[in-house]
Structure 1
C-alpha cells in the first residue's frame, strides 16, 4: 500500500502541472515549426484520408462545362482590392499530377500571368496573388464529388495553411474524367485548426485542359470569374433570325468566344458589361440610350472617361441591349479584325450576371449552334433590327479604335397584349409527371413547369386542364397564380406545383381529392 503525506501530494501535483505545460508548448511549437518548414520545402507531401461520398452528375446539353453549386452574386468586396488565394495540389493513389505540374510552375503561372490578367481587366482595382501548397498524397483512388474533394484537400493542407489569411481556395487535381467537367466553383463551410471557415472553392478536374499553359489559365480564370459572381457568356440563337419571340429562341451555353466566361479557349478579357457589374468600369462610362442618334464607344480594354458601354432599354420589358467596343489591347491581342472592326451586341435582362451575345449574321451557319457565333458581331455598314421592340442598331464606322453606331427607335405597328392561357391540356401517363408551357410577351418570356403526383388509384392517361389568366410581362412569377380548372376525373392528387425553369415555385397544392365512385375510363370496353 502506497501512502502520500501532504508534502508528497503537493510535489506530485507540481510535477503533473509542469509536465502538462511542457507537453503543450512542445506540441504548439512543433506544429508551427512544421508549418514553417512545409512552406519552405517544395517537396513536402502528406497523406490524407476520406470518407464516403456521392458522385454528382450534372451537365449542359452534352457540352463540356462546370457546375456552380451555389448562386454567387457579384461581390464588390471580392472584386476590388488585394485578394489572396491558396492553391492546393492533390495526388490520388491511381492518378497523379503531371510531372510538369510542379509547385514552382503553378506558382509562376498564377502570380505572373493570372494575377496580371485581373489587374489588366480591372484597371488595377483588383490584384490577386496566390501561394501553392502540396502536392499531398491521398490514400484513396480518384473521385469526382466536389464536397468530398474540398473536405479532403482542406484537411490535408490544414497544418500548412491558416485559411483565415486567404479569400478563396483553389484545388488542382490529376487527369480525371468527371462528367466532362473542366472545373467547378462551390462554397464550403468546414472546421479547421484555425476555426470554422466559409470560403469559395475552385476545383480544376481535368488535366487534358491543363496540358498547356493556356488551358490551365483559361479554366482557372473562368472559375475565378464565378467566385467574383459572374455567370456564363452565352449566345442567343433564334435560328434564321438575329432576334425573335422568346419561345422561338434558345440559350446556347458558352457561345460568346470574346469573353473568358464563354468557350473561348483564349485568355480573353471580360465584356464591358461584366466589368461594369464588378465595379471596374464606372457607371459614368455607361450611356443609357433613350432617343435616336449617333453614339461613339471607346474600347473596353482602356481606362478612360469616355463611354464604353451603350445600354438600350427594350420597351415593355426588364431587358436591355448592350453594345461594346473591343480592340487588340492586352490579352485581347488574339481578337480577329472582324471583332475589332465590329460591334458586339448583347441581350441581357435586369440583374442577370451572365450575358447573351446576339448572332447578327444568323444565315452564315456553323456546323452546330456553338460555331454559329464565331462571326456574331455586327460588321460595318450592317444593321441589327428588332422589329418586335422597335429598335435598330446600325454600325457606322470604327476609326482610331472608336466605334460609332446609329440607334433608332422605330414605331410599333401594334401594342402587344399579354397572352392568356386557357384550357391547357396535359396527359399524365404515370403516377408522377412533369410538363411545361412557355409564356411569351414581346421578345421575353418565361417557361413554367408543372409537377404532378397522384396516388395508386390514379387512372393512367387521365386528361388534366389548366387555366392561366393574363400574365404580367414584368413579373409573372410574383403576381400571377395559376388555378386548377378541371381536376382529375378520378383519383387523389398528392400534390401539384407550378414552378419556373429556374425552380422558383409560384403555386403549390399538397392534396386534393376527386370522387372515383362512378369513374370509368371512356376507352374501357364493356
Structure 2
C-alpha cells in the first residue's frame, strides 16, 4: 500500500513476466502520524495473471515475456509500465491484469495433405504463416481452430490471435484445376539435374523447398502476395537426376543451339518422365548443374512447350542454372516464373534530359546509353535482386486485380490511384490507350503507385530513401515478336511526375501530372490529372518492311474522341528520314468525325536497315507518330566455314562500343592495312575465333563481373530482325542475341581472297 497527499501522484511499477500465474498482493494499512494536516488516501494493488505491482512485492519470480493487459479502478494513466494516479482520489484498490506475450499454434490434418511447419510459437500481435500442401488429386476442404485467413495455400494467423490454438485442416478430392493459366493452383514440379562428368550436388532438396515453398520469402508466398491470394503453387520436388550425356555435349565449345536448348530439354524431360508421370503438371522447373565449359542459363518460356523425346510433357518450362549467376536467388526464380505466367520484361531507358515522346529512342538522342537495360523500378520482371512485387500491369493482365481496380482512361479528368504495394480497395492501375501494335493489340501508358509498404516493396524504397513512387510505363512499341510486349519506363518520366510537374508526350497527345499524394500505408493515394489523345494509330509502330517483297506499309489514323479532329499535315523524319517517303496521303487536310479513320501509305526507298518516324500533325497542337523500321535487304556474303579471315588487330581499349548499325558502318568504313572490304563477322566466325580456338584469338575479360566486353556479330536470329547476336569476349562459350539499339564492342574482319 502507498499513502499519498491530496493533489499528488503515486507511481506503481508493473513488471512484465511470462508464466500465466495468478496472485493477489494486499498491503495492510498503517496509520501515518506525520503531516497530520494533509489529506491522505490509501491505495492498495492486486495483480491478475502473470505479474506483480510495486510497491507491494509479488509472491512469484518476475520473467520478461508477458505484457500488461489492463489497469483498473484507481484514476490514473499507464506510461510504459508505470501506473500514475492523478489528482484527488478516494481510497481505492487497483487491479492490474497481465497476459502472455507469446502464443503457440499447432496443426493437425486428416489424410491426403500436410501442414508445414507443424508448430509455431510467436509474439501476440504478430502473424504466422503455415503452408498447406494437398496431395496430388486433392485440395483443401476446410480449416478450423484458429483465427486467420487462407491466401492461396498459405494460412496466415490473425494479428488478434491471443491464445494457443490447434489448426485443423481437412482435404477433399479435387474437382477442378486452375481456373486459368494464372489464377488458382499452379501445379509445379521442381527437379534437380546434373551430368556424368559434373555430378556435384551443389544445392540440397531442402534448400530448394525453402526457396520455392517453405519460407515467408518463398516463390509461393511471393505469388500469393502479388495475386492477393488468387494464385498459389502446389509444388512437388524430385531429387538429383543424372543425365546420360556429358555436360560438354550440351554446353561445351562445340555446342549448337539445338543441343543447348531443344536436345537438353528433351533429354531432361524424358529422364524425369521415367520417374514420374508429367501429364498433370502445369509448370516444370529444371534446376540444372553447370558444365565446366558453359551453362544451361536462366530462362523461361511465355508459351506452353511440348518437350521430351517422346513428348512426355506439355506445359510451361523454366530452366535455372549458373549458380555463380544467381539463378538460385528468390528474385531470379520469381523473374523466370513470371515469364511462365505470360509476363515479359520491364526495361528502362536512361534519359539525359526530358524526352518529348516515348518514341525518342529512335527519333532523337534524348535517351542515350545502353537502352533496354532491365528496369530498376519496382518490378521483379526488371531488376530482380531486390525482389519487389511484379508491376501492376502484369498483375492486372493475370487477373489478380478485381475489375474495378483497373481503370481505362478515355476522357480528360482527375483520377484517384491507390497504392498497389499491399492489399486495399480502390483503383490500382490507370491505363491510357495510345494506339495499337502490328498485331492489333492495344498499346497504353500505364500509371501505378508503389510505396514503402507490404512484404516485398520495402527494400527498394529503403534503398532509394523515398516513401512512394508514381511510376509511368508503356508497352514497348518495338516489341513485335513476343507473346506479350515488354514494358518500358524512362528515368526522366518518373523524376518529372514525382516532382508534381506535368509531362506532355509530344507525339502521343497525352499529358499527366500528380496533383496530390495523401494518406499512408494501405490508404496512400494520388490524384492524377490526365489529358487523353484524340487520335489513335494502327499500327502505332510499323512492324517492319520485311525483305524485298515488302516495300510499302499502310497506317490507319482513327479519331477516338467525341469531337471533330482536323489533320493538318503528314511528314517523315527520324534517324534515316530519306529512307522512307509518303506514297499516299489519305489524311491530308481532312477533318475526321468521331470514330472516322483515314489511311496513309509509306514506301521504303533504300535497301539498308533504316529507322524513321511518320509524324501526323492535328488540330489543338496534337501530334501522333509511328516508328518505321526497314530490315536490311542488301545482299551479304553468307557464312563460309572454309573462308580464310584476316582480323583487325585490337585491344579492349581500342574496340569501340557502338549500336549494331553503327558497328556495321564502322567496319565498312575503316581502311586498315590498305584494305576497304572490312565487315562485321558472322557469329560462327566470332565463336571460332574467340571460343573454339586455343588459345582464343581475343580474350577480353569481363570488368568487375559486368557484361561489358561483348562483340557484335553481323547475323541475328531469323525470327527477330530487331536483334543481332553478341559473343562474350572472355574465353567462355557464352553468346546471346540483343537489341540492335544496345551498345557493344566491335571487332572487324575481312575475307582473304
Q: If the TM-score is normalised by the length of the shorter chain, which range does it land in?
A: 0.5 to 0.7
Q: 2:180 aligns with which of 61, 66, 77?
A: 77
Pair 1:343 & 2:460 matched? no
Pair 1:203 & 2:319 matched? yes
- Give runs of aligned pairs for residues 94-109 of structure 1, distance below 5 A: 94-97=197-200, 99=202, 101-109=203-211
The corresponding residue for 1:53 is none
Q: 1:378 aligns with which of 456, 473, 497?
A: 497
Pair 1:421 & 2:421 matched? no
Deviation, structure 1 residue 381: 2.5
Q: CA 1:98–1:440 in structure 2 vs 1: closer, same or farther (change >3 Å)?
A: farther
The corresponding residue for 1:358 is 490
Q: Is the 8 A contact 1:299 1:324 kept in 2?
A: yes
What are the Cα deviations for residues 418-477 of structure 1, in whole angstroms up to 9, with x where unaligned? 6461796547xxxxxx63343434354131214255999xxxxxxxxxxxxxxxxxxxxx
The corresponding residue for 1:448 is 630
The corresponding residue for 1:148 is 263
Q: Which moved more, 1:261-270 or 1:141-150?
A: 141-150
Q: Is the 8 A contact 1:394 1:407 kept in 2?
A: yes
Deviation, structure 1 residue 320: 2.2
- Give runs of aligned pairs for residues 380-419 of structure 1, distance below 5 A: 380-400=499-519, 401-408=524-531, 415=568, 417=570, 419=572
Between the aligned partners of 1:299 and 1:190, the Cα distance in structure 2 is: 41
The SS at the match of 2:264 is: helix
Q: CA 1:76–1:453 in structure 2 vs 1: closer, same or farther (change >3 Å)?
A: farther
Between the aligned partners of 1:242 and 1:455, the Cα distance in structure 2 is: 39
The corresponding residue for 1:466 is none
Q: Which structure has more helix as a fraction of its residues?
A: 1
- Give runs of aligned pairs for residues 204-223 of structure 1, distance below 5 A: 204-210=320-326, 216-223=329-336
Q: Is the 8 A contact 2:226 2:395 kept in 1?
A: yes
The SS at the match of 1:325 is: strand
TM, length-normalised to structure 1: 0.61
Q: CA 1:175–1:397 in structure 2 vs 1: closer, same or farther (change >3 Å)?
A: farther
The corresponding residue for 2:237 is 132
Deviation, structure 1 residue 410: 8.9
Q: CA 1:216–1:264 in structure 2 vs 1: closer, same or farther (change >3 Å)?
A: closer
Q: Is the 8 A contact 1:97 1:173 kept in 2?
A: no
Deviation, structure 1 residue 500: 8.3
Between the aligned partners of 2:329 and 2:342, the Cα distance in structure 1 is: 20
Q: Which structure has more strand as a fraction of its residues?
A: 2
What are the Cα deviations for residues 130-183 of structure 1, in whole angstroms up to 9, with x where unaligned? 222121223433233122221222222223211012111111122457589433
Pair 1:272 & 2:392 matched? yes
Q: Is the 8 A contact 1:256 1:356 kept in 2?
A: no
Matched length: 364
Q: Is the 8 A contact 2:266 2:309 kept in 1?
A: no
Q: CA 1:386–1:201 in structure 2 vs 1: closer, same or farther (change >3 Å)?
A: same
Deviation, structure 1 residue 268: 1.3
The SS at the match of 1:403 is: strand
TM, length-normalised to structure 2: 0.43
Q: Is the 8 A contact 1:171 1:202 kept in 2?
A: yes
Q: CA 1:454–1:78 in structure 2 vs 1: closer, same or farther (change >3 Å)?
A: closer
Between the aligned partners of 1:416 and 1:355, the Cα distance in structure 2 is: 31
- Give runs of aligned pairs for residues 112-261 of structure 1, distance below 5 A: 112=214, 113-142=218-247, 143-144=250-251, 145-176=260-291, 178=294, 181-185=297-301, 188-190=305-307, 196-210=312-326, 216-237=329-350, 239-244=352-357, 245-246=359-360, 247-248=362-363, 252-261=372-381
Q: CA 1:443–1:424 in structure 2 vs 1: closer, same or farther (change >3 Å)?
A: closer
Between the aligned partners of 2:232 and 2:332, the Cα distance in structure 1 is: 18
Deviation, structure 1 residue 248: 2.4
The SS at the match of 1:162 is: coil
Deviation, structure 1 residue 307: 1.0
Pair 1:314 & 2:434 matched? yes
Q: CA 1:413–1:94 in structure 2 vs 1: closer, same or farther (change >3 Å)?
A: farther
Unaligned runs of 5+ in 2: 1-177, 252-259, 478-482, 535-564, 573-579, 583-602, 616-623, 639-717, 724-753
Unaligned runs of 5+ in 1: 1-74, 362-374, 428-433, 457-497, 504-526
How large is the Cα RMSD of the aligned pairs? Answer: 3.7
Between the aligned partners of 1:102 and 1:454, the Cα distance in structure 2 is: 51
What are the Cα deviations for residues 178-203 of structure 1, in whole angstroms up to 9, with x where unaligned? 5894334375424579x743222111
Between the aligned partners of 1:178 and 1:243, the Cα distance in structure 2 is: 43
The corresponding residue for 2:648 is none
The corresponding residue for 1:31 is none
Q: Is the 8 A contact 1:438 1:447 kept in 2?
A: yes
Q: Is the 8 A contact 1:339 1:377 kept in 2?
A: no
Between the aligned partners of 2:496 and 2:465, the Cα distance in structure 1 is: 8
Q: 2:610 aligns with which of 436, 448, 456?
A: 436
